[in-house]
Amino acid sequence: MANRSWHLDRRSFLRGLGVTLTLPYLEAMGDTTPAVADASARKRLCCLYFPNGCGIPNREKDAAAHSQWSWFPLGEGSDYEFTNTLSVLADHRQEMSILGELSHPRSRELLGHIAGDSWLTGGDVSGSNYRNNISIDQVAARKLGENTRYPSLTLSVDGGVGYQSRVSTLSFDDSGKPIPAEHRHRAIFERYFSPAGGNTTRERQAQLQRGRRIVDLVLEDSRRLSRQLGTTDRRKLDEFLASLNRVEQQIQRNEKWLKTPHPHVSADHIDFEVDATRNPDTYIRSMLDIMVLGLQTDMTRVMTYMLGREDGIGFADHFPKLACGIKRGHHSISHSTEWENWSNYDRWLASHCGYFLERLKTVNDEFGPLLDNTLVLFGSACSTTHNARNYPLVLAGGKNLGVNHGSYRIYGNQIPMTNLFVSMLNAIGVTTTRYSDSTGTLPGTLFS
């Protein structure tokens, strides 16, 4: 069965080629998708991470500080009260949930900094052999990236991969290897958005062509084999051919992208030359603007952005001084009991999440505000100083994805955070029953 359909696919596919479009950048973007019809809403995933956990003064010993400066709100359920920290997200209350007591069980005994390596993976980085695994964004990208120019985008303040136990990226590939993050605004824009972008096109073209030729040859050879097999075995080989067909289709989609010019986009509102040491606010927001632009043009549907590295490494550690006038670095604050300072810095970090949500709410594609089809996860991999439990987490967006927001939900420490990942993946259309050390989906009514 596979053989015939495979050829039909290709022919019908080739008919669709040939029209090169120069398009205005807004809602019409959907039309530049050269792949098979993608009529349903585009589902997306964005994950934002901040290092060193968050301030949580002890509820009993330091009740006054707790009620003001704790990252987590007071109360529970839908009538929770913001403290100073997250009140900066008050405008988005109905589009977000605050999640309490989730963490990765295998990282709980670790120093919070190392747990950062497993935030989006739930991998086992606790033993003498570091065994990380694929991150949730890369799982999502396998599916959500089928019809976009790029499967995913991995960003961070510092770029690169850092080093094992103190990575500077949130994304890990199938074998658990870190994927280098990009961090230079202009370079990112030029590579992914400018019409002349993708200087590696010729090389990429050659690569795709090589892949396609090999698929052709293997197909020819498989047919010969198929003729020699018995009925049962032939049915088994059809599974191989069907998979080969899918590989072929992906190559064709990718080839088509190479012939599809980048859309013209206006980036006038983005400051590419911003100096992080002078203006961290704009530095981060410019990157968030680029992300919004990427979603809006459907360049990709999956992105991660790491807002700083664990343990005072990298220049994001100076942001508290530059942005909030606090006379300590972020890591140093996280070791102190300067609750007010810590809360103010946490608030500053959360304000970027708020900015991102605001942008996603105001920018539309043909299915409405981007936010309604986008899941945004914002958080860290430890709570108070070095404690790799009760991660501070905000899940926002996805009104059309069956997510019920408006509450502070406490899950209790029996639920691995990967259960949240399973639920998130299913919400964005990536059917999954297991992920890393998950034991099921997230209980309760957050996901309907």
Partner 1 sequence: MDVSHLASPPLVAFRLACSSVIVCFVLDSGPVSAAPPSFADQVQPILARFCSSCHGANKQEGDVRIDKLDPDLVGGNDAERWHQALNLINRGDMPPADAPQPDAATLEQLVNAIQHELNRAIQARQTSHRKVLRRLTRSQYTRSLQELLQLTIDFGNALPEDAKSRTGFTNNGSVLQTTSLHLEYYQKIAREALNQAIFIEKPPVTRYRITLGTDLGKKLTKEKTAGRFTGYVSQPVEPSHLVAEVLDQQGHVKEVDPSERQGRYANVLRNLGIGMRGSHKERYQMAPQGMLLDSAVPHQEVAPGSWHGPSPNLKLLIRRDFPARGDFALRVTAARVASRTRPLTNTYRAGKPLVVLHDTPPAKTLSGGLVQPAEATQSHTRAELIEGLLHPKPTDKDANSSAQFTFTVPKEDLYQWDLICRRVRPDGSAKFTVAVSDPSRAVTTNKLHVVDGASNAPSIASLGVMALPAGQRSCTLTWSGPWALESLHLTRLPMEHAIRQKHARQLARYQQEQRDQEKREPVLQVALGNRTDDGMDSEPFDQTRRLPTPLNHFATYQFVGRLENLPVPQVDLNEQSSLANILVLAVWNGDFVKQLQRTGTRIQIRQIEFEAPYFATWPPASHQKIFIDSPQRGRPTVYAEEVITRFMSEAFRRPLHAGEATPYLNFWKAIRSDYDHFEESISEVLVAVLCSPKFLYLAEAAERDKTPIQEELELASRLSYFLWNGPPDERLKQLAQRKALRRGLSEELPRLLADPRSWNFVEAFCDQWLRLDRLQAMRVNVRKHPSFTRFVKADLARETYHFVRHALCENLNLFTLIDSDFVIVNQNLAEFYGLPDVRGTQFRVVPIAPETPRGGLLTQAAFLSGHSDGNQGHPVKRAVWLMERILGQAPPPPPPNVPALPVENPSKRNQSIAEQLATHRANISCRNCHKKLDPYGLVFEDYNGAGLLHRKPGSSPDTQVVLPDGHTVNGVGEMVQHILTEQRHAFRSSLIEHLMIYALGRDLSFVDEPAIEKIARRVAQRDDRMATVIEEIVTSPLFLQQQ
Name the residues that contact partner 1, by CB under 8 A. Answer: 109-111, 113-114, 126-130, 142, 158-166, 168, 174-175, 177-178, 180, 206, 210-211, 213-214, 217-218, 220-222, 224-225, 228-230, 232-233, 236-237, 239-240, 243-244, 246-247, 250, 311, 313, 414, 439
The count of other CB atoms within 10 Å of the CB of residue 381 is: 29
Q: Of the two residues 241 and 357, which places its CB atom closer to partner 1 in the complex?
A: 241
Q: Of the two residues 84 and 154, which places its CB atom closer to partner 1 in the complex?
A: 154
Cα–Cα distance, 235 to 444 (Å, whole number): 42
The count of other CB atoms within 10 Å of the CB of residue 199 is: 10
Q: Of the two residues 96 and 114, which places its CB atom closer to partner 1 in the complex?
A: 114
Q: Of the two residues 315 and 355, which places its CB atom closer to partner 1 in the complex?
A: 315
* 130 neighbors 296 (Cβ within 8 angstroms): no
Q: Of the two residues 17 and 206, which places its CB atom closer to partner 1 in the complex?
A: 206
Q: Of the two residues 84 and 169, which places its CB atom closer to partner 1 in the complex?
A: 169
Cα–Cα distance, 340 to 55 (Å, whole number): 9
* 117 neighbors 104 (Cβ within 8 angstroms): no
**Would you list the DSSP string of 28-59?**
GGGGG--SS---SPPPEEEEEE-SS------T
* Least Å from the CB of residue 214 to partner 1: 5
Q: For residue 167, which of 349, 310, 380 has the smallest C-alpha distance? A: 310
Q: Of the two residues 207 and 337, which places its CB atom closer to partner 1 in the complex?
A: 207
* Least Å from the CB of residue 211 to partner 1: 7
* Least Å from the CB of residue 92 to partner 1: 34
Cα–Cα distance, 346 to 86 (Å, whole number): 8
* Least Å from the CB of residue 81 to partner 1: 32
C-alpha torsion sign, points 280, 282, 285, 289:
negative
User: Across the strands, what pairs with 178?
Assistant: 172
Length of the chain equals: 448
Cα–Cα distance, 350 to 71 (Å, whole number): 10
- For residue 219, which phi and psi values (nearest 5 degrees)? -65, -45
* Least Å from the CB of residue 269 to partner 1: 28
The encoded tokens of residue 425 equal 């993946």
* Least Å from the CB of residue 8 to partner 1: 18
* Least Å from the CB of residue 447 to partner 1: 21
* Least Å from the CB of residue 108 to partner 1: 10
Q: Of the two residues 243 and 362, which places its CB atom closer to partner 1 in the complex?
A: 243
Q: Of the two residues 106 and 347, which places its CB atom closer to partner 1 in the complex?
A: 106
* Least Å from the CB of residue 353 to partner 1: 26
262: left (phi over 0), alpha (psi -120 to 50) or beta: beta
Q: Of the two residues 16 and 440, which places its CB atom closer to partner 1 in the complex?
A: 440
**Would you list the DSSP string of 332-379?**
HHHTS--HHHHHHHHHHHHHHHHHHHHHHHH-EETTEEGGGGEEEEEE
* Least Å from the CB of residue 140 to partner 1: 14
* Least Å from the CB of residue 126 to partner 1: 5
Cα–Cα distance, 327 to 333 (Å, whole number): 9
Cα–Cα distance, 379 to 349 (Å, whole number): 10
Cα–Cα distance, 315 to 317 (Å, whole number): 5
Q: Of the two residues 22 and 209, which places its CB atom closer to partner 1 in the complex?
A: 209
Give the angle 143-145-150 at the CA atoms, nearest 5°. Answer: 165
